Structure 1
Amino acid sequence: MESVTARLMKAEMQSDLGDLIAEELHHYTPYDLMQIAAALKQEIRNLPPEYRERLSDHTSEQIFGTYHRILLMKREGKIKALQDPLHNKVLFLTYCHMIQEACLSPDHAGGAHMTPMGRLLYFLLSAFRIFVLHESVHPVGTPFPGGLQVKKKGGVIYCPVRDRADEVVYALCRFCPAEQG
C-alpha cells in the first residue's frame, strides 16, 4: 500500500497518474470489484428501498464504470493524451497520505466490510475521477436524501453535499472538484 502511494506521489502530469492507476488495476480481478460493490451495498442496505436502488445504480457506475473506463482509455492511448500537470499537487499529496491512513482504518465508507486492498482500489478509482479527469467522485445523477442529486450545468458539476466534507471521516468531498449546489 505504501509503495503504491509512494509511486502515485511522484506523478506530475495527468497522464503519469492515469498510467500508474491503470497499472495498479491489473493487480485486481473482477472478483475484487465485486467485493467492493458488495461492501458498499452493505453500507446502504438500511436505506429506504427506492432510494437504495437509485443509489446502487450510481455506485455501480462509480466502481465498475470507472474501472472499465480507465482500462479502455489505457488501451486506446487516451491516457497518454492527457498532458496537463496535476491541477493541485498539494491537494493530491494530501489525498495520497489520506489513502494510506484510510486503507488501514475500518472507519472509511464500506470499511467494516472491505479489505484494505479493496479500500485502496476504491481510492485509486476515485483518484482517477478527481485528479485525472477532473470529475466528481459521484457520477452526475447520483441521488442524495431529500431528492437532491449531483448535477452538471454549463460544464460545472454541482454536489448537494459538498459542504459536508468535514462531517465524514475520510470523505472524498474535500478533494472533489464539484461545487456546492
Structure 2
Amino acid sequence: MDTSQLFQCLKKNALKISIHDLMKAKAYIEYNNRNLPEKYQKEYTQKLFGYIFNTLVEIKNKNSVDSVEHIDENIFRDLVEKINRLNENYSSEQKIFNRIIKIVSLYLVFIAKKPIHPESMIFPGGFKITKESGVYYCPVKDKQSGIEFALCDFCVCRDKEELETY
C-alpha cells in the first residue's frame, strides 16, 4: 500500500463521520479526562478535540497526498491492530471515538507526518511538544512507550530528552 491509496480510504471514511459522531467523541474525551488534575481537564479536552476535528476537516478538504510514498506494511499492521484492540469490550461512544482516532492517527503517522497529540497541548508538568529544525520532540514519548494502549511508538515525535542532549 502507498500513501495515496491509504489517503483515499481515510478520506472515504472521514466523510462518513457525522456531527453526531463528533459530539459523542468529544463527550468521550471529556469523560475520559475526568481524572486529570482540574487545571488540565478543559484545556486537554479542547486542544485534543480541536486537533482531531481540524485533522478530519483537513482530510475531507484535501484531494490527494503531496507525495506518494510506500507504507511499511508491518508498521501499518501493528498500528491498526493496536487501535483495533482499543475497541474490545467498550462502549459505543468509545468505539466511535476509536473509529475517528483510527482515521486521524493513520493520516498523521503516514501522510501528514505530524505528532499524534497537538503541539499546543500542555501535558501534566506544563510541558508541550516542540518543533526544532523540522523535528518534533515530545516530553512524554519515552514515558508512554510500551504502554498497551498508547500510540506513542508510532508517533513521528522524538523524545524531548534527545533534544536536550545535543
C-alpha RMSD of the superposition: 1.9
User: Which residue number corresponds to residue 89 of structure 1?
Assistant: 73
Q: CA deviation at 1:54?
A: 2.3
Q: Is the 8 A contact 1:58 1:141 kept in 2?
A: yes
Structure 2 residue aligned with 1:169: 148
Deviation at residue 144 of structure 1 after TM alignment: 0.6
* Aligned counterpart, 2:103: 124
Q: Is 2:81 the partner of 1:102?
A: no
Match of 1:69 among 34, 47, 58: 58
Partner of 2:20: 31
Structure 2: 5+ residue runs without aligned partners? Answer: 161-166
Identity among equivalent positions (%) equals 24
For the 8 Å contact 1:66–1:125, the answer to whether it is kept is: yes
- Kindly state the Cα deviation for residue 113 of structure 1 after the two structures are TM-superposed: 7.3
The separation in 1 between residues aligned to 2:94 and 2:34, in whole angstroms, is: 19
Q: Unaligned regions of 5+ residues in structure 1, if any? A: 1-11, 107-111
Query: Kindly tell me: are residues 134 and 167 of structure 1, through their superposed partners in 2, closer, same or farther at Cα, counting changes over 3 Å?
Result: same
State the secondary structure of the residue aligned to 1:147: coil
* CA distance in 2: counterparts of 1:123 and 1:83, whole angstroms: 20
Q: Residue 128 of structure 2 contacts residue 139 of structure 2 at CA under 8 Å; is this kept in 1?
A: yes
How far apart are the structure 2 equivalents of 1:105 and 1:99? 13
**TM-score normalised to structure 1 length:** 0.80
SS in 2 for 1:158: strand
**In 1, distance between residues paired with 2:94 and 2:122?**
26
CA distance in 1, matches of 2:145, 2:92: 23
The 1-side partners of 2:94 and 2:49 are apart by 18
SS at match of 1:50: helix
Instruction: State the AA in 2 paired with 1:37.
Output: K
| Alignment partners' CA distance in 1, 2:149 and 2:37 | 24
CA distance in 1, matches of 2:9, 2:149: 22
